[in-house]
Chain A
Amino acid sequence: MRGPYDVLVVGAGAVGLSIAYELARRGASVAVIEKEAEAGFGVSKGHAGVIHVLQLPLGSLKSRLAIYGNKMYDKWAAELGVKPWRLPALLVASSPLQLPLVLLLYPFLRAYYGRRGFAISLVSGRELREREPNLNALGAIRVDGYAVADPFELTYRLYEAAKEMGAEFYFNVEAELLEESEEGVKVKSSAGAFSSRYAVNAAGLYSDLLAGERLKPKRGVMVVFDRLQAKSIVAPISLSQLVRAETKGGGIIPTAWGHTIWGPGFSEGDKEDTAVYPQDVMALLSRFGSLVRRKGRLLKGYAGVRPASPARDFMMFYSPRKRIVHLVGIESPGFTALPALALMVLKMLQRSGLSLGAPRLPRPPKPLTRELLAAGKEVRGEKGKILCHCMRVSVGDVLEAMERGASTLDGVMFRTKLGMGPCQGQHCMGRAAALLLKLRGEVTKSGGNSWIAR
Chain B
Amino acid sequence: MDSTLVIGAGLSGLYLARELSRRGLEVRLVETRERAGGISLIDPEAKGIVERLTSQLEVETGKTVVRAAGRLLILSSEGAEEVRGGIVATGFRSKSAAEMGIWGDRPAGVFHFRSALDLLLEGFKIGERVVAYGANRYSVLLAERLLESSREVYLLDPALPPQLEVPPEVKAMRAKVRYVKGRGRLSKLVLDVGELEADALVLSSFEPWNPFPELLPVGHAAIEVYEPRALMESAEIFVENLLCEGSYVELSVRGELAIFPTPLKSCARRFMVVMREGRAIVNGSPYEVRGHLTLPLPPGTSRVEVREA
Residue ranges of A at the interface with B (Cβ–Cβ < 8 Å):
223, 272, 274-278, 280-281, 297-302, 370, 373-374, 376, 378-386, 389-390, 392, 394, 409, 422-431, 433-434, 437, 444-446, 448-454
Q: List 6 contacting pairs A-B, 8 Å CB cutoff, sorted by A.
A: A223-B98, A272-B183, A276-B104, A389-B65, A423-B93, A424-B112
Q: How far is the CB of B231 from chain A (nearest CB, A)?
A: 19
Q: Note all chain A residues with C-beta closer than 8 A to B178.
A: 278
Q: Note all chain A residues with C-beta closer than 8 A to B183.
A: 272
Q: Note all chain B residues with C-beta closer than 8 A to A384.
A: 75-79
Q: How far is the CB of A174 from chain B (nearest CB, A)?
A: 16
- How far, in angstroms, from A374 to B94 measured CA to CA in the complex? 29
- How far, in angstroms, from A378 to B66 measured CA to CA in the complex? 13
Q: How far is the CB of A408 from chain B (nearest CB, A)?
A: 9
Q: Note all chain B residues with C-beta closer than 8 A to A277.
A: 103-104, 179
In the complex, the answer to whether A450 meets B107 with C-beta atoms within 8 Å is: yes
- How far, in angstroms, from A449 to B185 measured CA to CA in the complex? 6
Closest to A390 in B: B211
Which of B77, B96, B184 meets A300, CB within 8 Å?
B96
In the complex, the answer to whether A426 meets B115 with C-beta atoms within 8 Å is: yes
Closest to A429 in B: B115
- How far, in angstroms, from A276 to B101 measured CA to CA in the complex? 11
What is the count of residue pairs linking A and B with beta-carbon distances less than 8 angstroms? 146
In the complex, the answer to whether B108 meets A381 with C-beta atoms within 8 Å is: no
At the interface, yes or no: B32 with Cβ under 8 Å from chain A?
yes
- How far, in angstroms, from A434 to B126 measured CA to CA in the complex? 11
Contact with A along B87-127 (1 / 0, CB 8 A): 00000011011110101111111011111111100101110
At the interface, yes or no: B159 with Cβ under 8 Å from chain A?
no
- How far, in angstroms, from A301 to B104 measured CA to CA in the complex? 9
Closest to A369 in B: B75
Q: Note all chain A residues with C-beta closer than 8 A to B209.
A: 423
Closest to B109 in A: A452
* Contact A389-B108, Cβ < 8 Å, known A430-B114, A449-B184: no
In the complex, the answer to whether A430 meets B111 with C-beta atoms within 8 Å is: yes
In the complex, the answer to whether B118 meets A431 with C-beta atoms within 8 Å is: yes
* Contact A373-B115, Cβ < 8 Å, known A427-B32, A452-B108: no
5 A-B pairs with least C-beta separation: A430-B118, A430-B115, A445-B108, A386-B64, A450-B108
Known: A277-B104, A380-B77, A429-B112; 16 extra A-B contacts, CB below 8 A, are A274-B105, A276-B104, A298-B96, A299-B96, A300-B97, A301-B103, A373-B68, A382-B77, A384-B75, A389-B32, A409-B108, A426-B93, A426-B114, A427-B114, A430-B117, A445-B108
At the interface, yes or no: B69 with Cβ under 8 Å from chain A?
yes
Q: Note all chain A residues with C-beta closer than 8 A to B65.
A: 389
Contact-size category for B: 35 or more
At the interface, yes or no: B129 with Cβ under 8 Å from chain A?
no
Closest to B114 in A: A426
At the interface, yes or no: B73 with Cβ under 8 Å from chain A?
yes
Q: Note all chain A residues with C-beta closer than 8 A to B281.
A: none
In the complex, the answer to whether B66 meets A386 with C-beta atoms within 8 Å is: yes
- How far, in angstroms, from A445 to B103 measured CA to CA in the complex? 18
Q: How far is the CB of A390 from chain B (nearest CB, A)?
A: 7
Q: Note all chain B residues with C-beta closer than 8 A to A431.
A: 33, 115, 118
Q: How far is the CB of A281 from chain B (nearest CB, A)?
A: 6
In the complex, the answer to whether A298 meets B79 with C-beta atoms within 8 Å is: no
In the complex, the answer to whether A385 meets B118 with C-beta atoms within 8 Å is: no
In the complex, the answer to whether A373 meets B69 with C-beta atoms within 8 Å is: yes
In the complex, the answer to whether A385 meets B184 with C-beta atoms within 8 Å is: no
At the interface, yes or no: B291 with Cβ under 8 Å from chain A?
no
Q: Note all chain B residues with C-beta closer than 8 A to A302.
A: 106
Q: Among A299, A444, A453, which residue has the most Cβ atoms of chain B within 10 A?
A: A453
Closest to A428 in B: B115
In the complex, the answer to whether A453 meets B98 with C-beta atoms within 8 Å is: no
In the complex, the answer to whether B108 meets A454 with C-beta atoms within 8 Å is: no
- How far, in angstroms, from A22 to B210 measured CA to CA in the complex? 47
In the complex, the answer to whether A298 meets B99 with C-beta atoms within 8 Å is: yes
Q: Note all chain A residues with C-beta closer than 8 A to B208.
A: none
- How far, in angstroms, from A428 to B99 measured CA to CA in the complex? 19
Q: Among B76, B108, B112, which residue has the most Cβ atoms of chain A within 10 A?
A: B108
- How far, in angstroms, from A452 to B104 measured CA to CA in the complex? 18
Q: Note all chain B residues with C-beta closer than 8 A to A394.
A: 75
At the interface, yes or no: B80 with Cβ under 8 Å from chain A?
yes
- How far, in angstroms, from A445 to B109 measured CA to CA in the complex? 9
Closest to B180 in A: A275
Closest to A410 in B: B108
At the interface, yes or no: B228 with Cβ under 8 Å from chain A?
no
At the interface, yes or no: B86 with Cβ under 8 Å from chain A?
no
In the complex, the answer to whether B124 meets A437 with C-beta atoms within 8 Å is: yes
Q: How far is the CB of B124 from chain A (nearest CB, A)?
A: 4
In the complex, the answer to whether A426 meets B112 with C-beta atoms within 8 Å is: yes
In the complex, the answer to whether B79 meets A379 with C-beta atoms within 8 Å is: yes
In the complex, the answer to whether B125 meets A453 with C-beta atoms within 8 Å is: yes
Q: Note all chain A residues with C-beta closer than 8 A to B125.
A: 453-454
- How far, in angstroms, from A134 to B181 measured CA to CA in the complex? 36
Within 8 A of A (CB), among B28-68: 32-33, 62, 64-66, 68
In the complex, the answer to whether B99 meets A297 with C-beta atoms within 8 Å is: yes
Q: How far is the CB of B60 from chain A (nearest CB, A)?
A: 12
- How far, in angstroms, from A298 to B79 measured CA to CA in the complex? 33
Q: Note all chain B residues with C-beta closer than 8 A to A427.
A: 32, 114-115
Which of B32, B103, B117 meets A275, CB within 8 Å?
B103
Q: Note all chain A residues with C-beta closer than 8 A to B106.
A: 274, 276, 302
* Contact A450-B184, Cβ < 8 Å, known A297-B99, A301-B103: yes
* Contact A278-B103, Cβ < 8 Å, known A300-B97, A373-B68, A423-B209: yes
In the complex, the answer to whether B96 meets A376 with C-beta atoms within 8 Å is: no
- How far, in angstroms, from A383 to B75 measured CA to CA in the complex? 11
In the complex, the answer to whether B124 meets A454 with C-beta atoms within 8 Å is: yes
- How far, in angstroms, from A388 to B236 measured CA to CA in the complex? 30
In the complex, the answer to whether B32 meets A298 with C-beta atoms within 8 Å is: no
Q: How far is the CB of A37 from chain B (nearest CB, A)?
A: 11
* Contact A453-B107, Cβ < 8 Å, known A376-B69, A386-B75, A423-B211: no
